[in-house]
């Protein structure tokens, strides 16, 4: 059994390195993003359309592809981290936020409306002297 695992040793090291990188990245990036959200971001029934007409299509399309690719990679790494060391659930959530899919805004609002999540988000915003989120 150990001989079979040794042939995948390099894969396990890459998974371990990816787990550490995403762990540190989520600890740094998620609070920054939460603090930068407008206080009324989740108070609308539907997502407000952000005017992207200023961006040329040759800029917008590669950025959307890059964002969705990163979201898919983080989502898959989150699934892997559910059984390996790392913040699997948080990485899954970050991946879901980056991906584009129908019902995304409704899912985000549902997650944020959970009392435990909502209280932590507003605690982070209070520490950064930002107004609390309004649902």
User: Six-digit token pair at 87?
Assistant: 């913040």
Query: Which residues touch 60 (CB under 8 Å, ≥6 apart)?
Result: 52
Cα–Cα distance measured from residue 39 to residue 58, given in angstroms and rounded to the nearest whole number: 32
**Amino acid 28: pLDDT:** 84
Q: Based on C-alpha coordinates, what's the Rg of the chain?
A: 18
**Amino acid 1: pLDDT:** 60
**Amino acid 48: pLDDT:** 58
**Amino acid 51: pLDDT:** 47
User: Six-digit token pair at 9?
Assistant: 């040793």
**Amino acid 16: pLDDT:** 80
User: Six-digit token pair at 59?
Assistant: 């800029």
Question: Angle formed by the axes of helices 9-36 and 57-81, to 10°?
Answer: 120
From first to last of its 135 residues, the chain has per-residue pLDDT tens of 666 667 778 887 887 887 788 778 777 887 888 888 888 888 877 765 554 557 788 888 899 899 999 889 888 888 887 887 667 777 787 788 889 989 888 888 888 889 988 898 899 899 999 999 888
Cα–Cα distance measured from residue 46 to residue 48, given in angstroms and rounded to the nearest whole number: 6
Question: CA angle, 23 as apex, 81 and 104 as ends, to 5°?
Answer: 70
**Helix segments in the chain, DSSP class H:** 2-6, 9-36, 57-81, 88-98, 104-112, 115-127
Cα–Cα distance measured from residue 105 to residue 100, given in angstroms and rounded to the nearest whole number: 10
């Amino acid at each position: 059994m150990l001989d079979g695992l040794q042939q995948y040793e390099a894969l396990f090291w890459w998974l371990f390195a990816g787990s550490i990188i995403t762990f540190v990245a989520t600890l740094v990036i998620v609070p920054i993003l939460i603090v930068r959200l407008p206080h009324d971001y989740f108070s609308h029934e539907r997502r407000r359309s952000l005017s992207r007409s200023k961006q040329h299509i040759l800029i917008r399309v590669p950025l959307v592809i890059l964002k969705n690719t990163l979201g898919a990679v983080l989502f898959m790494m989150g699934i892997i981290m559910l059984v390996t060391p790392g913040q699997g659930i948080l990485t899954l959530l970050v991946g879901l936020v980056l991906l584009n899919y129908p019902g995304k805004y409704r899912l985000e609002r549902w997650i944020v409306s959970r009392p435990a999540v909502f209280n932590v988000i507003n605690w982070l915003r209070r520490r950064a002297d930002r107004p609390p989120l309004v649902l």
